[in-house]
Amino acid sequence: MTETLKITNLHVSVEGKPILRGVNLTINRGETHALMGPNGSGKSTLGNVIMGHPNYEVTEGKIELNGEDISEWDATERARAGIFMAFQRPMAIPGVKMADFLRHATTNVRNPSRKEGEELIPMRQFRKELTEKMEQLRMDTEFARRYVNDGFSGGEMKRAEILQMAMLRPKFAILDETDSGLDVDAVKLASQSIAEIGGDQMGILIITHHDKLLDQNTPDFTHVMLGGKIVETGGVELAHELYTDGYDRIRASYPEAAVAEQVMAEAV
């Protein structure tokens, strides 16, 4: 059976303000979806809600993983069920080494019923695997000894997120603007890396403004979000069109969503 992440009529508010207004999206494992849209349209909100961020309130609709409603699950449970997000701005955790952080994370995700204090993956086995993945991603192994995202450059943070994805091997992954703040070569490397770590084995949602990240990860579907709704879905050619021409055609075609976009922008 194909594994599925299904979002139905999802309405989400933050501090009482509606941000998502009825999102429908179905991602099968093995598919790549691109999510595009102007700033403030709700793309990152969708990512955070799928991941279980406590500040976002689901007021209507549901998120299902293989038919099970996970809307009430916390982020820990979702992560252990195989959902992952590469953050646009990942948090620094000073004093915690990348390798230690990941060893713990990897153990928890691979052994979802693990209780705190139970055995971690044996150090040797973990080190070997981490080193392999870092070599594959052309990362200096020194990286593993640095504190999580602490003093990382923008590029280093994004690569660290991809490394985590490689180690955690999620079923579904959301990449929230993994290309932002990167130069052309870095985006190319990131794009290649996602493909190399088996992106095609996952269900991927790539949130992006550009089409470069999609080079090596051709989307099966491209969705356009406007005013808190997915208003149009197409193939890869839609991504290229939006990157080249912007969102004027979209706004003209979906006036109700364009008005909502205005209202949401003014409410901020």
CB under 8 A: which stretch of 93-101, 119-127, 207-215, 226-234 binds other proteins?
A: 93-101
The smaller minimum CB distance to other proteins, of residues 8 and 107, is found at: 107
Determine the Cα–Cα distance for residues 34 and 206; give it in Å rounded to an integer.
Answer: 5
CA 109 to chain centre: 16
109 binds other proteins (CB under 8 A): yes
The smaller minimum CB distance to other proteins, of residues 70 and 79, is found at: 79
Determine the Cα–Cα distance for residues 73 and 50; give it in Å rounded to an integer.
Answer: 10
| 3 state SS of 160 | helix
CB under 8 A: which stretch of 1-9, 46-54, 185-193, 248-256 binds other proteins?
A: 46-54
Q: Which amino acid is at 143?
A: F
Report yes or no: 130 and 144 within 8 Å, Cβ to Cβ: yes
44 binds other proteins (CB under 8 A): no
143 binds other proteins (CB under 8 A): no
Closest C-alpha among 89, 15, 78, 16 to residue 49: 78
Residue list 162-191, contact with other proteins (CB under 8 A): 164, 168
Q: List the one residue from 58, 66, 101, 200 that touches other proteins (CB under 8 A).
A: 101
Neighbours of 198 (CB within 10 A): 11
108 binds other proteins (CB under 8 A): yes
Report yes or no: 225 and 242 within 8 Å, Cβ to Cβ: no
Residue list 62-91, contact with other proteins (CB under 8 A): 74-76, 78-80, 84-85, 87, 90-91
| 3 state SS of 54 | coil
Write the DSSP symbol of residue 109: H
Minimum separation from the CB atom of position 222 to other proteins (A) = 25
Q: In the complex, which residues of this chain contact other proteins (CB under 8 A)?
A: 51-55, 74-76, 78-80, 84-85, 87, 90-96, 101-102, 104-109, 112, 116, 147, 164, 168
